[in-house]
Chains A and B, each alone.
Chain A
Amino acid sequence: MKKILIVDDEAGFTRLMKLTLEKTGPYEVTEENDGARAWETAHRVKPDLILMDIVMPRVDGGDAAARIRKDPALCRIPIVFLTAIVSKKETVPGGLIGGFPFLSKPVSLDALIACINENISPS
Chain B
Amino acid sequence: MSPPTPAGASSSGPCRAEGIQPESERLFLHAILESSPDLIYFKDSQSRFLRINRAMAAHFGLKEPVEAVGKTDFDFYACEKAEIMRQDEIRIVKSGTPMVDKIEREERADGKTVWVITSKAPIFDQEGRIVGTFGISRDVTVLKEMEDALGRERNLLRHVIDNVPDYIFAKDTKGRYILNNQAHIQFLKKKTPDEVFGKTTFDLFPLSVAQRFHTDDLAVMENGQPILNRIESPAPQRWLSTTKVPLFDPSGKVEGLVAISRDITEQKSSREALETTVEELRSLQLQLVEAEKMKMVGRLAAGVAHEVKNPLAIIGMGLEYLKNQPFEDSNIPQVLEEIASAVQRADSVVRELLDFSAAQKMNLAPADVNRIVRNALVLVRSELAGRKIVVVNELASELPSVRLDAMKIEQALVNLFSNAAQAMEEGGELTVRTSVRQVTGIGENVSQSDAGRPGALLVIVQVMDTGPGVPEAMLGKVFDPFFTTKPTGKGTGLGLTVTKTIIDLHGGTIEIGNRPEGGTCVTLVLKADNPS
Interface set of A (CB-CB < 8 Å, partner B):
10, 12-13, 16-17, 19-20, 23-24, 55, 82, 84-89, 91, 104-109
Contact = CB atoms under 8 A, between A and B. Distances in A.
Given A84-B306, A85-B354, A86-B354, A106 B312 contact: yes
Given A105-B310, A106-B343, A20 B305 contact: no
Interface in B288-330: 302, 305-306, 308-310, 312-318, 320-321, 323-324
Contact of B313 (A19, A24, A87, A107): A107
Identify which of A24, A87, A106 gathers the most chain B CB atoms within 10 Å of its CB: A106
Given A12-B314, A13-B313, A105-B310, A20 B320 contact: yes
Contacts of A17: 317
Given A13-B313, A105-B312, A85 B306 contact: yes
Contacts, number: 70
Given A19-B321, A84-B306, A84-B309, 8 more contacts: A13-B317, A84-B313, A85-B306, A85-B354, A86-B351, A87-B355, A88-B352, A106-B343
B347 interface: yes
Contacts of A109: 317, 320, 323
A87 B358 contact: yes
B296 to A, nearest CB: 16
A102 to B, nearest CB: 13
Contacts of B324: 23-24
Identify which of A16, A82, A89 gathers the most chain B CB atoms within 10 Å of its CB: A16
Contacts of A106: 309, 312-313, 315-317, 343, 347
Interface residues of B, number: 26
B310 A10 contact: yes
A63 B58 CA distance: 126
Contacts of A82: 313
21 contacts: A13-B317, A16-B321, A20-B317, A23-B321, A84-B310, A85-B354, A86-B351, A88-B352, A88-B355, A89-B355, A105-B310, A105-B312, A105-B313, A106-B316, A106-B343, A107-B316, A107-B317, A108-B316, A108-B320, A109-B320, A109-B323
Interface of B: 302, 305-306, 308-310, 312-318, 320-321, 323-324, 343, 347, 351-352, 354-355, 357-358, 411
Contacts of B313: 10, 13, 82, 84, 105-107
A105 B352 contact: no
A61 to B, nearest CB: 12
A20 B302 CA distance: 28
Given A85-B305, A105-B309, A106-B309, A16 B351 contact: no
